Amino acid sequence: MSVERDFSRVGRVVVKVGSSSLIYPTGRPNLAQMENLVRQLADLHNQGRQVLLVTSGAIGVGVHRLGFARRPADLPETQAAAAVGQGMLMHMYEKFFAEYGVTTGQVLLTREDLADRRRFLNARNTMYALMRLGVVPVINENDTVAVEEIKFGDNDNLAALVAGLVDADLMILLSDIAGLYDADPRHYEQACLIDQVTEITPAMEDAAGGAGTGLGTGGMATKLQAARMAMHFGLVTVLARAGEKDVVRRVLAGEKLGTVFWPSGRLENKKRWIAYGSCVSGNIHVDGGAARALLQKGKSLLPSGITRVEGDFEMGNTVCIIGPDGVEIARGIVNYTAAEVDRIKGLQTGEIFRVLGHKDYDEVVHRNNMVLDA
């Protein structure tokens, strides 16, 4: 059943634009498209809406400036290209936004910044301060220092995490493709555009391909990952083609452009961080009774249902909770260390003090600090 697109009340929007939409195949920046996008965002800003821009393109711009024929495979050279390109990219955004009287602020993030709860809250506070001051945050991954262990992997997922970080109302993913199709339109002429999505199915994931260009890292698969994350957060996502005339304005006006992904739930901010922002430090395996108590009754995890512990986590770390079939059923913030959980597994709460010599909590993971697998 079709749902009416009504974004008239959207007050805070995150717009993400990819490298393929900002850079020509020659490697030079697409200034016309950048200026067109900035004009639309500046107009939203003038309407009193809060706008955050997540932009790719630093590496692509740097690749051309450094005279590389293609994106380097070598990590240090890729980071060098990012260092050169980020300054150039930000300069162009500052220039375009300034023409419309809008101030911008550069924000560079890594996965590690959002995985640490204190740094996550600092990033959130900074974003809110920028918006309160009327500044448009221009956000990118900090590719000059990010390595594989802390990379977001693409700016689609970064955009979704930022949208969750600031409690956005809408996320718009701008790409070189018009939306989600039932097959890859680059290879199948009969591929049909999907107008709206309420559930991301395995068939949709199978149809998603890899990166679209040599300058980008994302593809349809990463856009589906980002959309699923936003759906879980309770946010609406629209995937549309960046080159479409006045695409942002028309999306906000409710026109049927691209594909809209409707929310499937509403996680509070802390649980968004547990589910998607924090790094998992270990696994706790539980029996069938504990799994049912968590999934069906909304209970906390007690020691009596724990069968096995994996990893070397500390109190306050995030852990995966694994059901008896080996599938993750939840993740949450643990109240005891791995060694302590291993010692009290299978025991009643009344035995915790006898075994450990202290008992700060009855629960190994409290339900308020737990997110069930979506």
Binding annotation for ATP? 16, 175-176, 217-223
Tell how strand 318-322 and strand 170-175 pair up. Answer: unpaired
Of the candidates 77, 71, 155, which has an alpha carbon nearest to the alpha carbon of residue 109? 155
Q: For residues 113 and 97, what is the distance between their CA atoms, to the nearest angstrom?
A: 27
- Name all contacts of 181-187 with Cβ < 8 Å and 24+ positions apart: 181/207, 182/207, 183/207, 184/209, 184/220
| Segment (H or E) for 284 | strand 280-286
Of the candidates 52, 34, 209, 207, which has an alpha carbon nearest to the alpha carbon of residue 138? 52
Q: For residues 155 and 159, what is the distance between their CA atoms, to the nearest angstrom?
A: 6
DSSP class of 208: -
Q: For residues 63 and 29, what is the distance between their CA atoms, to the nearest angstrom?
A: 11
Q: Residue 50, exposed/middle/buried by CB under 10 A (0-12, 13-18, 19+)?
A: buried
Binding annotation for substrate? 56, 143, 155
Contact 65, 85 (CB under 8 A): yes
Binding annotation? 16, 56, 143, 155, 175-176, 217-223
Contact 82, 151 (CB under 8 A): no
Strand, coil or helix: what is 91?
helix
How many C-alpha atoms does 254 have within 13 Å on its Cβ side?
A: 8
